[in-house]
Structure 1
Amino acid sequence: MSADGSWEFTIDSPIGKQSLWVDMKAEDGKLVGTCRADGQVIDPDIIDGKIDGDLVSFKVKSHKPVPLKMTLTLTRNGDTMTGKAKPGMFGTFPVTGKRV
C-alpha cells in the first residue's frame, strides 16, 4: 500500500493541537501534493517531498500566524503515520496522521 491519498495530520505543539490536511502522491520518485491548515495561511503545495518505502518527508510554508517553513518526517504504517514536525527554529513536535 502506498502513501498516495488524503491524510489528516495532528501536530501536538506547545500552543495546542494543530491540524494539517494533505493530498499526496508519489510521482517520478518524488512526493507531490497540496495541503491546507486549520487557522493558518500556508502555501498550498508541499515542498521537497520525498518518499522511500514507508518513510515520508515534506515541507510546508506558513505565512500566518508566523512565517516559517515546517518539515514533517513520518513513517507510514498502513493507513496511519507517525513522526515529528520541525517548525523553523521552534524545536520538534510529535505528529500523528490518518488516511481519510
Structure 2
Amino acid sequence: MFIVFLRFGADKDRAQSFMDGHKAWIKQGFDDGVFLLAGSLQPAAGGTILAHKTTLADLTDRVNADPFVAENVVVPEILEVAPSMTAAPLAFLTR
C-alpha cells in the first residue's frame, strides 16, 4: 500500500489551468482499481492519495503522468506502507 502526498510547489497558482486533466488522472486511478482514496491536504496544502495493487515503479510512473506533477504545480512524495493491522472493513489491505 502507498500514501502519495502531492504538496503544492512554487507554481501553485497554475493549478486551475490543469485541474480538468488532474481530475481525469485521479478518475483513471480509481477506474484502474489502484486508488482507494483521494483528498485535499489541509489547509490548502495539496492532496493525498491512498493506492494499492501496484508496484512502487508503476505508481511512480503513474504519479509522474499527473498533469499537476508534470507541470510542477505539486511536488510528489510516495511512501510505502506495509499494513499489519486494520479495522475490519480494511482487512483486504493486509493480504
- Give TM-score scaled by structure 1 length: 0.31
- Give TM-score scaled by structure 2 length: 0.32
User: Which structure: greater strand fraction?
Assistant: 1
Structure possessing the higher relative contact order (Cα contacts under 8 Å, 6 or more residues apart): 2
In terms of Rg, which structure is larger?
A: 2
User: Which structure: greater helix fraction?
Assistant: 2
